[in-house]
């Protein structure tokens, strides 16, 4: 028999279809997003994600929480068996006080030794399911910690991919900016020569020089951003800043998304999102705690026993006549508790209701985040197409403007305006291309992709001590490696 409610799961509202389901870029067929970053076809990104999985320290902390929950579950399961099993032994030298009795100590009573050794046992019978509910709660808590690990893994993969994409987007901005600097420097040299020949005035020279300096001034900002993003990527991989300089020395292009993206249906979020599954498991764990509290209403029955040997002389301790023992049941019942037990049940029930509401909110939040990510991805793709057209037109206008300026048909202001527009459009295009890739990363994250990587490898990565019972292994994580070079840093 088990008192308390039987957990049958909790319900939550979820949309039947996506708002933008009709878009040709989206597919609603089932797709496994275990290695979603591979859609970018970038080997460097693939390796960075794997190294982060092996070395990221917050992820290893989440793995340690799983180990902790497993041990806690073992403690709960152990309560099914005799809770007290102790071997004890003692020796005492005893003497009666002559001042304790009005007539002194009786003749013949002398100091004596007391040797005793025995085995004590106590076993509380789980009549009302308190222990079994505790195991249920520990099971659900363990599963919640596993889901928490999966959620941390999903976020880590998204952070690594986002940092890598930002790095490549900045590199593209740097290439565009450097290209414009080279073009503007060539234009400045041309105008300087025309000024020396008396063809143009000093104003054109000053304007060209100012525009060149303005464009050059954006290079240090981009270089700073590039270094800071790379430092952040090193942190995600548990490496000191600068450790990825060799791996990322060669400038790369922005990872491009595929033509179509399979997103499944909204109901898949309940199965794929680790944070949703974690919230549901937390509700299950709390439901079992109601039964634990409710069991306090009823009497507890325990069987206690003792087997021992006792003698005055050590040599007689193991004689058959020295044996002693007892066994019998005991009952304990909290009869007068002044409402404490009832209110404890109400506390656990209120916490369960909170957990249910938190789960329902997690489902709605997941649905909202997925919808936001979908619309952001689709609209940014449209924006890229417009910016590509605008950039082509702007560059063509600049080309025409330069030719007309050299022919003396237009003044330099027209060329200057075209140069500024070209710089702005190219920078906006690079940012938008990067944003498309970032939005796709956010979409896969919102869909709960990537957590199945845990099923392929251990939760605790190699190099981290897992046998906590071994004093040699139970060292700080920083000392767990054989050398100071993080695994995977050498490629």
Tell me the per-residue pLDDT of 317-351, one tens digit each, with 9 for 90 and over.
Answer: 888 888 888 888 888 888 888 789 999 999 999 99
Cα distance between residue 486 and residue 306, in whole Å: 55
The pair phi, psi for residue 260, each rounded to 5°, is: -130, 150
The pair phi, psi for residue 310, each rounded to 5°, is: -145, 135
Name the nearest CA neighbour of 405 among 197, 206, 211, 200: 200
Cα distance between residue 400 and residue 72, in whole Å: 75
Q: Is the pLDDT of residue 489 over 70?
A: no
Q: Is the pLDDT of residue 468 over 50?
A: no
* Cα within 13 Å of Cα(35), Cβ side: 14
Higher-scoring residue by pLDDT: 299, 473: 299
The predicted pLDDT at position 459 comes to 58
**Mean per-residue pLDDT, 219-230:** 95
Q: Is the pLDDT of residue 436 over 90?
A: yes
DSSP letter string, 140-161: HHHHHHHHHHHHHHHHHHHHHH
**Tokens, residue 271:** 């199965």
The pair phi, psi for residue 328, each rounded to 5°, is: 175, 165
**Per-residue model confidence as pLDDT tens digits over 350-387:** 999 999 999 999 999 999 999 999 999 999 999 999 99
Q: pTM for the whole thing? A: 0.84
The predicted pLDDT at position 472 comes to 53
Domains of the chain plus CATH, in order, are 26-80+130-296+341-459 (1.20.1600.10), 82-125+299-332 (2.20.200.10)
For residue 491, what pLDDT band results from cuts at 50, 70 and 90? very low
Name the nearest CA neighbour of 279 among 186, 393, 355, 345: 355
**Per-residue model confidence as pLDDT tens digits over 279-306:** 999 999 999 999 999 999 999 999 999 9
**Per-residue model confidence as pLDDT tens digits over 40-90:** 999 999 999 999 998 999 999 998 999 899 999 998 988 888 888 889 999
- Beta strand 26-27 pairing with 261-262: parallel
The pair phi, psi for residue 173, each rounded to 5°, is: -60, -40
């Amino acid at each position: 028999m088990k008192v308390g409610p039987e957990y049958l799961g909790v319900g939550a509202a979820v949309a039947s279809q996506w708002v933008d389901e009709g878009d040709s870029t989206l597919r609603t067929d089932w797709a496994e997003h275990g290695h979603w970053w591979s859609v970018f076809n970038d080997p460097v990104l693939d390796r960075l994600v794997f190294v982060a999985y092996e070395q990221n320290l917050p992820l290893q902390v989440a793995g340690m929480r799983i180990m902790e929950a497993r041990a806690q579950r073992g403690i709960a399961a152990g309560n099914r068996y005799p809770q007290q099993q102790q071997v004890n032994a003692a020796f005492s030298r005893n003497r009666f006080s002559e001042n304790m009795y009005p007539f002194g100590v009786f003749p013949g009573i002398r100091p004596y030794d007391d040797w005793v050794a025995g085995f004590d046992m106590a076993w509380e019978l789980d009549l009302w399911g308190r222990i079994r509910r505790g195991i249920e709660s520990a099971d659900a808590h363990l599963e919640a910690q596993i889901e928490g690990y999966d959620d941390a893994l999903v976020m880590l993969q998204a952070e690594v991919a986002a940092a890598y994409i930002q790095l490549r987007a900045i590199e593209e901005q740097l290439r565009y900016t450097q290209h414009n600097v080279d073009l503007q420097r060539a234009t400045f040299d041309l105008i300087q020569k025309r000024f020396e020949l008396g063809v143009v005035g000093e104003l054109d020279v000053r304007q060209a020089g100012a525009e060149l300096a303005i464009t050059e001034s954006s290079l240090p900002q981009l270089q700073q951003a590039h270094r800071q993003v790379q430092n952040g990527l090193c942190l995600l991989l548990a490496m000191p800043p600068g450790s990825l300089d060799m791996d990322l020395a060669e400038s790369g292009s922005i990872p491009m998304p595929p033509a179509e993206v399979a997103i499944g249906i909204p109901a898949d979020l309940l199965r794929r999102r680790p944070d949703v599954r974690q919230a549901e498991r937390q509700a299950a764990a709390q439901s079992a705690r109601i039964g634990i509290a409710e069991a306090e209403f009823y009497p507890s029955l325990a069987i206690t026993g003792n087997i021992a040997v006792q003698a005055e002389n050590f040599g007689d301790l193991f004689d058959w006549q020295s044996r002693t023992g007892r066994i019998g049941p005991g009952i304990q019942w909290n009869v007068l508790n002044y409402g404490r037990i009832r209110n404890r049940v109400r506390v656990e029930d209120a916490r369960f209701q909170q957990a249910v509401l938190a789960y329902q909110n997690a489902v709605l939040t997941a649905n909202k985040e997925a919808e936001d990510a979908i619309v952001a991805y689709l609209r940014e793709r449209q924006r890229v197409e417009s910016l590509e057209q605008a950039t082509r037109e702007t560059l063509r206008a600049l080309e025409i403007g330069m030719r007309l300026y050299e022919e003396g048909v237009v003044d330099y202001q027209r060329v200057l305006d075209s140069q500024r527009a070209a710089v702005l459009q190219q920078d906006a295009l690079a940012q938008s291309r990067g944003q498309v890739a970032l939005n796709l990363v956010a979409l896969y994250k919102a869909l709960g992709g990537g957590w199945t990587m845990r099923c392929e490898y251990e939760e605790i990565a190699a190099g981290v001590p897992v046998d906590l019972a071994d004093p040699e292994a139970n060292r700080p994580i920083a000392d767990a490696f054989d050398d100071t070079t993080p695994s995977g840093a050498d490629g």
